[in-house]
């Protein structure tokens, strides 16, 4: 099992790291642009740190379909924020949610510690950027779909086998490109290139990803599969399902948890840790 090392911090097997989401987008599915403004985004970072976040993940492009956001606009939204967060929080691990190498290079220069590619490596040069700047990389599974598109009748013979094959291949490719082995994570990417049944199957068998030895990141916070599983709940009513899914993921050995509510996640993970130590 690899120890994850980012900005001088170590997250060993059995440790839990909370990654708080801060979106500089006007159309986020969760907050509908509440943190799009620069000052609002900075305040959200401060609040996340106060709530116990170990990592803050800054995004400049909505994951789902929506208005076109080119690389220049994405850079405009995230680079200055990364620089200011680095100034305000020198020891905080800063992640940037992007699949574009040109964005990755600018935010690395601004102080980012981790590039969170949720789309499964559509730009191979992103790994080269992570290697050049000595920072981390998230290798996710999106089933080969185009960024910002939803899958149409996507099917797998075995979704977990596909997740394992693609994420491990991306992680190994990243290491060959020069990314530090202790700075690589894998992410099954619930809902990305998957329907609800696929996401549930990945969650049920998450231990198979943990068994690869790569640190596993899970990003399940308020996602569609949670709402659909609970009878079609809207985003604002998915909190309980999110916390339950986080706990199941933690029990199976996931290491990093990308969430909208870091305080609740921290409390849930502390409970899992206590239960685990008593077992």
Work out the average pLDDT over 248-273: 97
First to last CA, the chain: 21
- Predicted local confidence at residue 30, as pLDDT: 80
Tell whether the model's pLDDT for residue 236 goes beyond 80.
yes
Tell whether the model's pLDDT for residue 268 goes beyond 80.
yes
Band of residue 206 on the pLDDT scale cut at 50, 70, 90: very high
- Predicted local confidence at residue 252, as pLDDT: 97
Tell whether the model's pLDDT for residue 126 goes beyond 90.
yes
Specify whether the CB–CB gap between 238 and 232 falls below 8 A.
no
Within 10 angstroms of residue 235's Cβ, the number of other Cβ atoms is 16
Tell whether the model's pLDDT for residue 128 goes beyond 80.
yes
Pick the closest to residue 96 from 36, 170, 19 (CA basis).
Answer: 19
- Predicted local confidence at residue 153, as pLDDT: 87
Mean pLDDT, all residues of the chain: 96
Band of residue 221 on the pLDDT scale cut at 50, 70, 90: very high
Tell whether the model's pLDDT for residue 277 goes beyond 90.
no
Band of residue 66 on the pLDDT scale cut at 50, 70, 90: confident
101-110 and 71-88 helices, crossing angle to 10°: 20
Work out the average pLDDT over 171-195: 97
Q: For the chain, how big is the Rg over CA atoms in Å?
A: 17
Tell whether the model's pLDDT for residue 279 goes beyond 80.
no
For strand 217-218 and strand 256-259, is the pairing parallel, antiparallel, or unpaired?
parallel
What pTM was computed for the model? 0.96
* Percent of the chain topping pLDDT 70: 100
Q: 115-124, 151-160, 169-178, 193-202: lowest mean pLDDT where?
A: 151-160
Tell whether the model's pLDDT for residue 78 goes beyond 90.
yes
Work out the average pLDDT over 258-276: 96
- Predicted local confidence at residue 256, as pLDDT: 98
Work out the average pLDDT over 80-98: 98
- Burial of 253 (C-beta count, 10 Å sphere; 0-12/13-18/19+): middle
- Predicted local confidence at residue 29, as pLDDT: 79
Output the domain CATH number for residue 23.
3.20.20.20
- Predicted local confidence at residue 203, as pLDDT: 98
- Predicted local confidence at residue 25, as pLDDT: 94
- Predicted local confidence at residue 150, as pLDDT: 86
DSSP string of the chain, one letter each residue: -PPEEETTEEE-TT--EEEEEEE--TT-TTTTTTT-SHHHHHHHHHHHHHTT-SEEEEESS-SSS-S---HHHHHHHHHHHHHHHHHH-TTSEEEEE---HHHHHHHHHHT--EEEETTS-SSTHHHHHHHHHT-EEEEE--TTPPTT---SS---SSHHHHHHHHHHHHHHHHHHHT--GGGEEEE--TTTT--HHHHHHHHHTHHHHHTTSS-BEE--TT-HHHHHHTTS--GGG-HHHHHHHHHHHHHHT--EEEES-HHHHHHHHHHHHHHHHH-
What is the span of the domain harbouring residue 230? 4-278
Tell whether the model's pLDDT for residue 194 goes beyond 90.
yes
Specify whether the CB–CB gap between 203 and 156 falls below 8 A.
no
Band of residue 64 on the pLDDT scale cut at 50, 70, 90: confident
- Residue 115 forms beta bridges with which residues? 96, 137
In the chain, the number of structural domains is 1
């Amino acid at each position: 099992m690899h120890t994850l090392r980012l900005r001088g911090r170590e997250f060993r097997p059995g440790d839990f790291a909370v990654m708080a989401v801060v979106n500089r987008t006007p159309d986020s599915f969760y907050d509908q642009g509440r943190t799009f403004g620069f000052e609002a985004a900075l305040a959200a970072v401060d609040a996340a740190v106060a709530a116990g976040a170990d990592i803050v993940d800054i995004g400049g492009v909505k994951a789902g379909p929506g208005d076109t956001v080119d690389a220049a606009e994405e850079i405009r939204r995230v680079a200055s924020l990364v620089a200011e967060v680095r100034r305000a929080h020198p020891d905080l691990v800063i992640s940037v949610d992007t699949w574009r190498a040109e964005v990755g290079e600018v935010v690395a220069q601004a102080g980012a510690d981790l590039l969170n590619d949720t789309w499964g490596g559509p730009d191979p040069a992103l790994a080269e950027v992570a290697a050049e700047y000595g920072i981390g990389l998230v290798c996710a599974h999106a089933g080969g779909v185009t960024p910002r598109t939803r899958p149409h009748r996507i099917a797998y013979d075995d979704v977990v086998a596909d997740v394992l094959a693609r994420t491990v291949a991306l992680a190994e490719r990243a290491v060959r490109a020069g990314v530090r082995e202790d700075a690589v994570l894998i992410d099954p990417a619930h809902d990305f290139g998957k329907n609800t049944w696929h996401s549930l199957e990945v969650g049920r068998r998450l231990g198979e990803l943990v068994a690869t030895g790569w640190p596993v990141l899970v990003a399940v916070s308020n996602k569609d599969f949670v709402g659909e599983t609970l009878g079609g709940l809207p985003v604002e009513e998915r909190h309980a399902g999110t916390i339950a899914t986080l706990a199941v993921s933690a029990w199976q050995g996931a290491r990093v948890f990308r969430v909208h509510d870091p305080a609740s996640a921290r409390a849930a993970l502390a409970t899992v840790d206590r239960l685990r130590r008593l077992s």
